[in-house]
Amino acid sequence: MKSELKPYDEKMKKTISSMQSNFAAIRAGRANPAVLDKIMVDYYGTPTKINAMAAVSVSEARILVISPWDRSTLKSIEKAIQASDLGINPQNDGSVLRITFPPLTEERRKDICKQIRKMAEESKVAIRSIRRDANETFKALKKKNELTEDDQKDLEKELQKLTDNFVKEIDTLSGAKEKEIMEV
């Protein structure tokens, strides 16, 4: 790959990575510790991720178990989960928290699929924005006579191929996630 395209390739890869982490955080009826990744707990005045202060495990297909290393943080973890947008109340037995995920209704599955499509579309827009920025950079380099017109056209073609590949990857990943949601 040409060195001029390398930074844009990296940005596009980061966009895909970000989308995948957002997909992992979607509650799909199965217990998945990634749904807790965005929840921050006030730990002695510092916002801290749950997995940094507790062991999170899947005990059954739809049950997450959170075992804090410091039992005094159990209440604050419970409050943070209740305040989050998960919409689930954890069960506190004094030493661990259990989060039971209810089975998904057909309506909820369709809503989640809409969310997935929206995230995928936002990622495609981000990829296209990166392509636009790159093309503007190439035009500026041509104006400064640092690139020939043929080099600029070649870079734009390569960039378009790169963009198309990442858009296909987004479609593939979002389709797989939608299929997973509909089969749960």
Domain ranges of the chain: 6-24+105-183, 33-100
Residue 28: per-residue pLDDT: 65
Architecture of domain 33-100: 2-Layer Sandwich (3.30)
- Give the pLDDT score at 90: 87
Q: List per-block mean pLDDT (blocks of 10 residues) for the chain, which spans 184 residues.
A: 84 93 75 81 86 87 87 88 81 88 82 91 96 93 90 92 95 91 76
Cα 63 to chain centroid, rounded: 22
- Amino acid 108: pLDDT: 81
Question: How far apart, in whole angstroms, are the C-alpha atoms of residue 146 and residue 69?
Answer: 58
DSSP character string of 31-100: --GGGGTT-EEEETTEEEEGGGTEEEEEEETTEEEEEESSGGGHHHHHHHHHHSTT--PPEE-SS-EEEE
The CATH classification number of 6-24+105-183 equals: 1.10.132.20
Q: Is 147 helix (H, G, I), strand (E, B) or coil?
A: coil
Q: CA nearest 5: which of 154, 175, 121?
A: 154
